[in-house]
Amino acid sequence: MFDARLQGLLQPVLRPPARLLAARGIGADRITLVGFALGLLAVPALAAGAHGVALGFILANRVADGLDGAVARLQGPTDRGAFLDIALDFTFYALVVLGFALADPVRNALPAALLLAAFMGTGSSFLAFAVLAERRGMASTAFPRKGIYYLGGLTEGAETIAVFVAMCLWPQAFPLLALFFALACLVTTVMRWRLGWMMFGDPGSGQ
């Protein structure tokens, strides 16, 4: 919901460090992989109950996610970069939820499972729409610099990270936060299903 506006605000901030990294020959794909590795470290930290440490790794992952895009715009975007960005982001989101489930299976496992199921809905609808939008030559006006058609919604990257931050700050509230965000993801999924039904229907089929 806020990703497009945040991108406009963050680009001037990210541009100077991105230029420095690009000048040193550090490519966007390397930044993406390093960022994912940092994000992975949040999982054992969460499982051990070190929520402050986990929050640091989560935020480091997001900084890298912003920098890789800024570097890619300087060096030239690639299909591999677009693939890595979205594939590793979705995996990272799921692993953070897994970390909370590992920390307290009795309280957190069921809410975590419901949130992961909701992530499947948002992720699959996002990717299915992107594939068909590419086939039809559609372009996203809200995210013109993304490597694939980027379909927004109620629960985008910014909202997901905001919820993760809240979960790290108030881990005892994880079940409630997970259920709340799962419902928000369900709303996003239904909205995307409706949009896909309307935009990808065969003309004259009546269906």
| pLDDT-above-70 percentage for the chain | 86
Question: Can you give the three-state secondary structure of the chain, one letter per residue?
Answer: CCHHHHHHHHHHHHHHHHHHHHHCCCCHHHHHHHHHHHHHCHHHHHHCCCHHHHHHHHHHHHHHHHHHHHHHHHHCCCHHHHHHHHHHHHHHHHHHHHHHHHHCHHHHHHHHHHHHHHHHHHHHHHHHHHHHHHHCCCCCCCCCCCCCCCCCCCCCHHHHHHHHHHHHHCHHHHHHHHHHHHHHHHHHHHHHHHHHHHHCCCCCCCC
Average pLDDT over residues 13-42: 94
What is residue 134's predicted lDDT score, i.e. its pLDDT? 83
* CATH number of the 3-199 domain: 1.20.120.1760
Tell me the C-alpha distance between 63 and 75, whole Å. 18
Q: Higher-confidence residue: 9 or 66?
A: 66
Confidence of residue 58 (pLDDT cuts 50, 70, 90): very high
- Structure tokens of 92? 């990272």
pLDDT for 99-126, tens place per residue? 999 999 999 999 999 999 999 999 999 9
pLDDT at 193 over 80: yes
Stretch among 121-130, 150-159, 160-169 having the lowest mean pLDDT: 150-159
Q: Higher-confidence residue: 151 or 178?
A: 178
What is residue 95's predicted lDDT score, i.e. its pLDDT? 98
What is residue 52's predicted lDDT score, i.e. its pLDDT? 97
Domains in the chain: boundaries = 3-199
pLDDT at 175 over 60: yes
pLDDT at 12 over 70: yes
What is residue 154's predicted lDDT score, i.e. its pLDDT? 75
Confirm whether pTM is higher than 0.85: yes
Stretch among 86-90, 109-113, 146-150, 157-161 having the lowest mean pLDDT: 146-150
Confidence of residue 151 (pLDDT cuts 50, 70, 90): confident
Confidence of residue 8 (pLDDT cuts 50, 70, 90): low
Stretch among 23-27, 42-46, 59-63 having the lowest mean pLDDT: 23-27
pLDDT at 1 over 80: no
